[in-house]
Amino acid sequence: MLFVSKTVMSFTFLVILLASNTIRAEVVNKILPEQLVSLRSGGGREWSEFPENIELAQFEHRFDSETNANPWTLSIRQQDVKEIWNVSINGKSIGRLTRDENDLRCDFEIPAELLNTSENKLEIRCSSDKNSDDIRIGEIEIHNVAPTRLRSGSTIEIVIHDVNQHPIPGRVTIVDLQGTLIPINIASANATPSTLKPSNQNTRTQNNAFAKRHGVVYTANGRAIFGVQPGTYRIYAGRGFEYSVETLDVQIAQGQYAKRTVNLQRQVDTKGWVACDTHVHTVTHSGHGDCTIAERMVTIAGEGIELPIATDHNTQIDYTTPARLAGVNQWFTPVVGNEVTTQRGHFNIFPTSSDSQRPNHQAPDWSELFDSIFENQTVKIAILNHARDLHSSFRPFSPRHHISLTGTNLDDFDRRFNAMELINSGAVQTTPMQLFGDWCGLINNGMQVTPVGSSDSHDVTRYIVGQGRTYIACDDSQPNQIPVNAAVTAFLQGQVVVSYGLFANLRANQQAGPGDLLELGENEPLKVDAEVRHPDWTEVTSIELWVNGEPRISQKIDPGSHPLNADSTPTPSDSEVKSHRVQFSWEIPREELSSDVWLSLVARGPGVRQPYWPTAKPYQPDSIDFSPYVFSSTGPLRVDVDGDGAFSSAADYASQIVDQLSSADDNSPINLQLLADELQELEPAISHQVLAMLRPNIDQMPQLIERLEHESQTNARRFEQAWLTSLRAQLERIE
């Protein structure tokens, strides 16, 4: 058994004998006073930022104490906790570390008389060794008062206004001088110390719906009041992606009451775009996570989501009444949805109603499932969720079932989903562009699939609701009266922007945007205007114009090269909107376009590491190496190049070519030279689709590749590698 003892670790140990009725909270014991130690469960290394060899699978520490006549507090700093780690003293469980990868301090109540007057033993161990979990713990202290009393010695009030001095919902983040999220106490803070009576004392608790976790308070009415241990704190106030984050340093002594007011500035102009989160959960109705439905209402308003879709698992919940009870119904328009959770994938559907028939989530295949989903004629949208994640031993876009490059389904599934998640901020991918590449394959395959950003949040703050979001081109002038039918129509057309810390947009020939069809004149070049907006606390470092699923133009960006600019189209309610903007214009000559194409703009940058809006690590990582990121992409802008008044996909063109090659005799082998000659003239997307259609009938693929030259050969090799990867996954039954 691995353990840490006071002898081996040589920790400094401090004992201060205090009477049990002492008024002032004091540290009785300090354990690991200035250091963190790493623990590892599951045996395998989880993250490269941890040492390669971690010998400690659990933590044990023996210490002397006096008995505690009243409840005391064990306080632990923790980092990167994903699995369940139990905490016990003298063999009695007193709780678990918080399942949260953020740097935070958590308190545990030590029941009265649990401590011995002689030796005691603290133990921290993971409940399972099935999954790897690298964590850090340290700065462990024992205080001579209960947690609620420890965290209520002083009181802080933060008031959040917009630039017009109107109170708005928001998020308040509280950290210590090390940047660690700290425990706070809401209950005691609602009672103002008798010696300190703010002028608005009588109205402070009216309509004060809130959601609280370690170091975080979401407030419905713009006022957050909380108790803290006396000390010095850094406090951040914000309201999601579109607003500034204001920073305050507060030093507060025992018994003091400190009030601060912040004014948040609208920094990202999204006029005409509705902020939608299509993937929202509550513990109340999904049964896991920690965010109750009442708390969810406050977090939605506090992150600035205007169109939240309620998608608890296999149930249909209406947020209308909870939003009214929380006093936030003016800030958003709720929509009833359902995460149809099956053994063969998860699908978010909407709009529906709470009393309508729920789809059969036990349908044996996708054909019956989609029949069941669309039997309810109000349902218009079915989103394929987290297609690269493994659930119930099934991964929808595993190479065993799917060829990403061409969007080819290998199981002949009925693919009637019409949207898919490119960003799920609660389950990000190790490789930022992986799901984007999957989506490109589907579009080239001829499917009409809208790209989606969502949060999949089940929590108050571990995974932030609305962090991944989808902006829909729709009237957003009245957040509580969003025209849902119009939003659904625009969504289905692909008039969207996927947002995860950035907002990318493009226009073609000053006429068309995401989801539109541009009819290009015979001698007209394709002119593209690209723009990326973001608040001053995120950065964009690269933007790319993708054409038919391939990067056509790439631009690296120095984050300091684009100053804060006054926006030319401010919203009426935010007259001082300012945005950080990156703008570029490009032109593709008409002679370089021989067939219809579609465009998407992609923007990327480093992730947010600050505690006020931290971007998460992957839920199911592919590697021990990971760099956090922000991301944005647009819906497809389709260009009619061939002049027939419609858009033809790469698969449409490929079908025509395949028909010509096999028209003489369907049973005869493919003429490799004719096929090679044809492929030599095709752009990558069409070439890949041709090979996907013909590959089962081509026995001499190496010979075909040898007949090709230059880029055509490279394109064929790319497809063949994808094909072989899928073949191997099928043979080895790898999900």
The answer regarding whether domain 273-640 maps to CATH 3.30.470.10 reads no
* Mean pLDDT on 11-17: 26
pLDDT grade for 187, boundaries at 50, 70 and 90: low
d(CA 150, CA 383): 46
Class of domain 151-264: mainly beta
Model confidence pLDDT, tens digit, residues 251-273: 999 999 999 999 999 999 999 99
Judged against a pLDDT cut of 50, whether residue 541 lies above it is answered with yes
Least confident range from 37-41, 402-406, 455-459, 665-669: namely 665-669
Model confidence pLDDT, tens digit, residues 483-501: 999 999 999 999 999 999 9
Pick the closest to residue 170 from 108, 243, 271 (CA basis): 243
Q: What are phi and psi of 265, to 5 degrees?
A: -105, 135
504, 481 Cβ separation under 8 angstroms: no
Q: CA torsion angle for 368, 339, 396, 735 (degrees, to 10)?
A: -110
What pLDDT, on a 0 to 100 scale, did the predictor assign at position 572? Answer: 38
The number of angstroms, rounded, from the C-alpha of 496 to the middle of its chain's C-alpha atoms is 17
Give, to the nearest 10 degrees, the angle between helix 672-679 and helix 710-732: 110
Model confidence pLDDT, tens digit, residues 334-355: 999 999 999 999 999 999 999 9
Identify the residue with better confidence: 338 or 664: 338
Beta bridge partners of 61: 122
Q: Show Cβ contacts of residue 207 under 8 Å, excluding neighbours closer than 6 positions.
A: 220, 221, 327
* Mean pLDDT on 563-579: 46
What pLDDT, on a 0 to 100 scale, did the predictor assign at position 699? Answer: 79
Q: What residue segments make up the domains of the chain, in order of their start? A: 6-146, 151-264, 273-640, 650-732
Least confident range from 344-358, 375-389, 604-618, 696-710: namely 696-710
Judged against a pLDDT cut of 80, whether residue 691 lies above it is answered with yes
What pLDDT, on a 0 to 100 scale, did the predictor assign at position 568? Answer: 33
Judged against a pLDDT cut of 70, whether residue 5 lies above it is answered with no
Q: Where are the alpha helices (DSSP H) in 181-319?
A: 283-286, 293-302
C-alpha distances out from residue 112 to 66, 151, 408, 553, Å: 12, 18, 63, 67
d(CA 77, CA 139): 6
Give, to the nearest 10 degrees, the angle between helix 672-679 and helix 684-694: 160
* Mean pLDDT on 186-201: 40
CATH topology of 151-264 equal to that of 273-640?
no
Judged against a pLDDT cut of 90, whether residue 204 lies above it is answered with no
pLDDT grade for 128, boundaries at 50, 70 and 90: confident
Choose which CATH entry (2.40.350, 1.10.287, 1.10.8, 2.60.120) describes domain 6-146: 2.60.120
pTM of the predicted model as reported, rounded to 2 decimal places:
0.92
What pLDDT, on a 0 to 100 scale, did the predictor assign at position 29? Answer: 83
SS3 of 464-517: the string is CCCCCEEEEECCCCCHHHCCHHHHHHHHHHCCEEEEEECEEEEEECCCECCCCE
Identify the residue with better confidence: 670 or 588: 588
pLDDT grade for 661, boundaries at 50, 70 and 90: confident
Q: Give the strands of the sheet with 85-89, arranged side by side.
A: 58-64, 119-126, 85-89, 92-96
Q: What are phi and psi of 678, to 5 degrees?
A: -70, -45
What pLDDT, on a 0 to 100 scale, did the predictor assign at position 12? Answer: 25
Least confident range from 390-404, 443-457, 538-552, 554-568: namely 554-568
> What is the pLDDT of the chain when averaged over all its residues?
90
Judged against a pLDDT cut of 50, whether residue 424 lies above it is answered with yes
What pLDDT, on a 0 to 100 scale, did the predictor assign at position 561? Answer: 63
Pick the closest to residue 381 from 477, 494, 296 (CA basis): 494
pLDDT grade for 274, boundaries at 50, 70 and 90: very high
